A and B are shown apart, each in its own frame.
Chain A
Amino acid sequence: MTLWEQSATEITTKTRRGELSAEETTRAFADRIEALDPAVGAFLDRMTEPALERARELDALPAAERGALHGLPVALKDIISVAGSRCTCGSRILEDYVPVYNATVVDRLNDAGAVILGKTNMDEFAMGSSTENSAFHTTKNPWNLNCVPGGSSGGSAAAVAARLVPAALGTDTGGSIRQPASLCGVTGLKPTYGRVSRYGLVAFASSLDQIGPLTTSVEDAALLLEALAGDDSHDATCATRPTAPYSQELGGDVKPLRLGVPNAATSEGVDPDVRAAFEAAVATFASLGIAIEEVTLPATEHAVACYYLLATAEASSNLARYDGVRYGLRVSEDEPLRVMMGDTRARGFGAEVKRRILLGTFVLSSGYYDAYYQKAQRVRSLIGRDFEKAFERVDAVLLPTSPTPAFRIGEKVDDPLSMYLTDIFTITANLTGAPAISLPGGFASDGLPIGIQLVGKHFDESTLLRLGHAFQQATDFHKKSPTIAET
């Protein structure tokens, strides 16, 4: 089996044992990026030289000092800070911004022996579902280069799908790990809110954002989560709860587990191929001896509305810091302060970011705050109650990830509302803080991948990963790769 066909777990295990060298592995994936990324456009910045240097250092480490991700090449969504490397967030306003410190997840990857190979493309400030909102270029879906990879972590998903890296990190505020994972046929995990530190992650909507891995299997997602999860004194929203040996718990029996299927999971607006894959997934889980129970989640039909009021409010506040004063772009520098700020933000932000800042400003403005922001926060509580009630009876809930397979580039760019509605199945896990994972669940008639999604109980990533692993033992969708990966 050639290197790119191997999982992150296989690669790091062999490298730790000395059967592979970190330098050769890093070189091999850097060569793949060089050869294939011009067509895919997954990366914004490559870090080949520092990565090779780092790999040589890792090769020199004695066996006893080799970490759980020893020699594993990893890509990062370009919203995660690496000291000394620019971090654009897909935006002109941060085009030349260079962080002076590492995100905690970067330190944890480094401590575990991973090799950071580059920064991936994304919708500007993680706002979008197609990666078309990047200020720099559009990433293509490796399964069909005329289609979007999803978003906002579209670069990370496309990079893993084309096997340009064995694993990547993304961020998920309303589905931005899971939806591109679904559209690109890879595994994407959004951990519980607070499970992974966000120190050094550029904030979009702070009550919703979470960092997580995109990989080719659940086994690899567990391996990455184990390295990333846990308390961090730099992030007060990071949970102090103990983590679990996620990768060791995968083989556990899933038979006593119960899976909830919402009665309206495949209602109108869901593509027939997605519906078929979803129903097949229910049957697969049932064949594993898992009890299937119908659950009702009535408040979730308002989740998209609730989300776009809250996320934009938080974004308008978080993005106020980009004003041409402390870092990033400054234009009209000879004009008075207010003019300089208004012009800087006009030039630095793209249309979707402006649209959301305006909506968020409205939602928080005097006279509308109670009717929109407060009301949405109350509806959010009701959505949480729906899931709490469901989780009294079941261990996880099965949903589609995206209502459709990948759509064509340009298809939805002029229709923001229809783009927002693609998040309909992913948003609830962000609003409730629950962990959720998207798994490859089949293919549409035109060959595009389809994802299915498991939503778990707070901090119960173990059960989610066990269920996902059991599904991947019974299916081989996650083992398929697009033709472009084989060239």
Chain B
Amino acid sequence: MADFDEAQVRKLAELAHVKLSDDESAGFAGQLDEILGYAERIQAHDTDGVVPTSHALLEAGLEGASALRDDEPTGSLDREQVLEGAPDPGDGLFKVPKVLP
């Protein structure tokens, strides 16, 4: 299993776009190590030939558990209204800070 040291936590935090303080990294490393240690028990299961679930009901063979509607264009949310909730709207778009430092 993976060792959850602080370096591992920092790497995950970077992948997940969450800045962590040093205290947080240290705290999470210990907790994630414990949680993952507990989760290791699933490895004891023999799952050879078992199909992984992606939709619990469809895999159980239940019909009518889900459906796609006909692909016909319908109305969507009002652009101006949606942009009202944005931190920095402009020209009908979401604006972001510069991408390159």
Q: Is A145 an interface residue (CB 8 A)?
A: no
Contact B39 A357, beta carbon cutoff 8 Å: no
Instruction: From known contacts A354-B24, A358-B16, A384-B53, infer whether A100 and B67 are also in contact, taking CB-CB under 8 Å.
Output: no
Contact B66 A458, beta carbon cutoff 8 Å: no
A215 to B5, CA, bound (A): 45
Contact A375 B43, beta carbon cutoff 8 Å: yes
Interface residues of B, count at CB 8 A = 61
Contact B52 A381, beta carbon cutoff 8 Å: yes
A365 to B2, CA, bound (A): 12
When each residue 1-41 of chain B gets 1 if its CB lies under 8 Å from chain A and 0 otherwise, what string results?
01000001100110111111000100110011011101111
Q: How many A-B contacts are there with CB distance less than 8 Å? A: 197
When each residue 377-416 of chain A gets 1 if its CB lies under 8 Å from chain B and 0 otherwise, what string results?
1111110100010000000000000000000000000001
Cβ–Cβ < 8 Å partners of A101 in chain B: 77
Contact A378 B50, beta carbon cutoff 8 Å: yes
User: Among residues 314 to 364 in chain A, which have CB atoms less than 8 Å away from a CB atom of chain B?
Assistant: 316, 320, 323-330, 333-343, 345-346, 349, 351, 354-355, 357-359, 361-362
Instruction: From known contacts A345-B18, A416-B31, infer whether A334 and B97 are also in contact, taking CB-CB under 8 Å.
Output: yes
Consensus secondary structure, chain B interface: loop
Contact A376 B12, beta carbon cutoff 8 Å: no
A320 to B52, CA, bound (A): 24
Cβ–Cβ < 8 Å partners of B52 in chain A: 374, 377-378, 380-381
Contact B97 A340, beta carbon cutoff 8 Å: yes
Cβ–Cβ < 8 Å partners of B24 in chain A: 351, 354
A376 to chain B, nearest CB (A): 6
Q: Is A305 an interface residue (CB 8 A)?
A: yes
Contact B56 A193, beta carbon cutoff 8 Å: yes
User: Among residues 229 to 246 in chain A, which have CB atoms less than 8 Å away from a CB atom of chain B?
Assistant: 231, 233, 236-241
Contact A231 B45, beta carbon cutoff 8 Å: no
**Given A354, A355, A380, A458, which contacts B53 in the complex, CB threshold below 8 Å?**
A380
Chain A contact patch, size range = 35 or more
Chain A's closest residue to B66 (CB) is: A237
Q: Is B101 an interface residue (CB 8 A)?
A: yes
A117 to B82, CA, bound (A): 25
Chain A's closest residue to B44 (CB) is: A302
B80 to chain A, nearest CB (A): 10
Cβ–Cβ < 8 Å partners of B51 in chain A: 378, 381
Consensus secondary structure, chain A interface: helix
Chain B's closest residue to A368 (CB) is: B2
A194 to B64, CA, bound (A): 10
Chain A's closest residue to B61 (CB) is: A388
Instruction: From known contacts A306-B42, A345-B17, infer whether A337 and B96 are also in contact, taking CB-CB under 8 Å.
Output: yes
Chain B's closest residue to A342 (CB) is: B19
Contact A309 B42, beta carbon cutoff 8 Å: yes
Instruction: From known contacts A100-B85, A336-B100, infer whether A362 and B2 are also in contact, taking CB-CB under 8 Å.
Output: yes
Interface of A toward B, CB cutoff 8 Å:
97-98, 100-101, 192-194, 207, 231, 233, 236-241, 299, 302, 304-306, 308-309, 316, 320, 323-330, 333-343, 345-346, 349, 351, 354-355, 357-359, 361-362, 365, 368, 371-372, 374-382, 384, 388, 416-417, 420, 431-433, 458-459
| 30 A-B pairs with C-beta separation under 8 A | A98-B85, A233-B69, A236-B67, A236-B69, A239-B57, A239-B67, A240-B66, A302-B41, A302-B45, A305-B39, A308-B35, A308-B39, A320-B17, A325-B86, A325-B96, A328-B87, A336-B98, A337-B96, A354-B20, A354-B28, A358-B12, A359-B36, A362-B12, A375-B47, A381-B59, A382-B45, A417-B34, A433-B57, A433-B60, A458-B65
Q: A236-B67, A326-B85 are in contact. List 20 more A-B contacts (CB 8 A).
A: A100-B85, A101-B77, A237-B55, A302-B42, A316-B16, A324-B87, A327-B87, A336-B100, A337-B97, A346-B20, A358-B16, A362-B2, A362-B36, A381-B50, A381-B53, A382-B45, A384-B53, A416-B31, A431-B56, A459-B62
